[in-house]
């Protein structure tokens, strides 16, 4: 059975709301307990959240609060949805539907992510083309770049990066750069950059091993 099929079977097994221990899940799906841990991590990256309980009676269960909506809207789509409210002033029923959808998602997103969405709505989203062009020029000129960006792990952060290359992956543009704070190569999604400034300061050129 394929990996995707195994992960779907795991979700279906956990839908009953009960706590299932790792060995039980592994036996029913016919994989090793180690793979169950991997499936859990990958499912959560896809937005399906699984709770863990330790101890003799411990195991995995679906998080009912975080998984109560499965429409699959991205943060960018939520921003567009929020902006649409103002266009339905005369159509109160449509406006109420939009509000209900957004309010339901707000229960599932972190406070940092919610702040990011509201900030973008208030200030206007950076044009991805502008960010791409400016960072591409910074790469060519070996200029350092100051960025303020959002991440699910740390919220809004400020970094000085040495941009090296641009990548397009799963409908998103990324910049691979040396991060001065982390002292390592990191990937930054252009859509998550809230502010940026190309600095006059230069950096020494380096190559990213492929």
Could you tell me the pLDDT band of residue 194, with boundaries at 50, 70 and 90? Answer: confident
Residue 168 within any structural domain of the chain: yes
Number of H helices, E strands in the chain: 7, 7
Share of the chain above pLDDT 70, in %: 63
Residue 69 within any structural domain of the chain: no
Same domain for 152 and 171, yes or no, is: yes
Residue 68 within any structural domain of the chain: no
CATH number of 37's domain: 1.10.10.10
pLDDT in tens, 177-193: 999 998 988 889 888 88
Q: Domain tally for the chain?
A: 3
Same domain for 53 and 93, yes or no, is: no
Residue 197 within any structural domain of the chain: yes
Question: What predicted TM-score, i.e. pTM, was given to this entire model?
Answer: 0.42
CATH number of 164's domain: 2.30.30
Same domain for 137 and 164, yes or no, is: yes
15's tokens:
């839908």
Q: Give the structural domain span for 85.
A: 75-122
Distance, CA of 62 to CA of 104 (rounded, Å): 18
Same domain for 141 and 190, yes or no, is: yes
Residue 11 has pLDDT above 70, yes or no: yes
Same domain for 139 and 85, yes or no, is: no
Same domain for 11 and 32, yes or no, is: yes
Residue 148 has pLDDT above 70, yes or no: yes
How far CA 60 is from CA of 32, 75, 158, in Å, comes to 15, 27, 36
Is the model more confident about 125 or about 43? 43
pLDDT in tens, 23-55: 888 888 889 888 888 888 877 766 677 888 877
């Amino acid at each position: 059975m394929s990996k995707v099929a195994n992960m779907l079977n795991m979700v279906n097994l956990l839908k009953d709301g009960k706590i299932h221990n790792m060995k039980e899940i592994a036996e029913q799906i016919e994989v090793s307990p180690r793979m169950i841990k991997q499936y859990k991590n990958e499912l959560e990256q896809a937005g399906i959240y699984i709770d863990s309980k330790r101890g003799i009676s411990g195991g995995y269960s679906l998080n009912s609060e975080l998984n109560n909506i499965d429409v699959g809207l991205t943060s960018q789509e939520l921003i567009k949805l929020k902006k649409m409210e103002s266009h339905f002033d005369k159509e109160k029923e449509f406006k109420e539907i939009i509000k209900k959808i957004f309010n339901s998602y707000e229960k599932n997103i972190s406070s940092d992510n919610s702040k990011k969405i509201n900030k973008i709505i208030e200030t206007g989203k950076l044009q991805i083309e502008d960010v791409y062009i400016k960072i591409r020029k910074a790469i060519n000129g070996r200029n350092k770049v100051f960025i303020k960006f959002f991440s699910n792990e740390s919220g809004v952060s400020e970094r000085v990066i040495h941009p090296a290359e641009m990548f397009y992956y799963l409908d998103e543009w990324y910049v691979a750069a040396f991060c001065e704070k982390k002292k390592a190569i990191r990937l930054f999604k252009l859509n998550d950059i809230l502010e940026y400034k190309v600095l006059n300061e230069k950096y020494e050129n380096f190559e990213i091993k492929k």
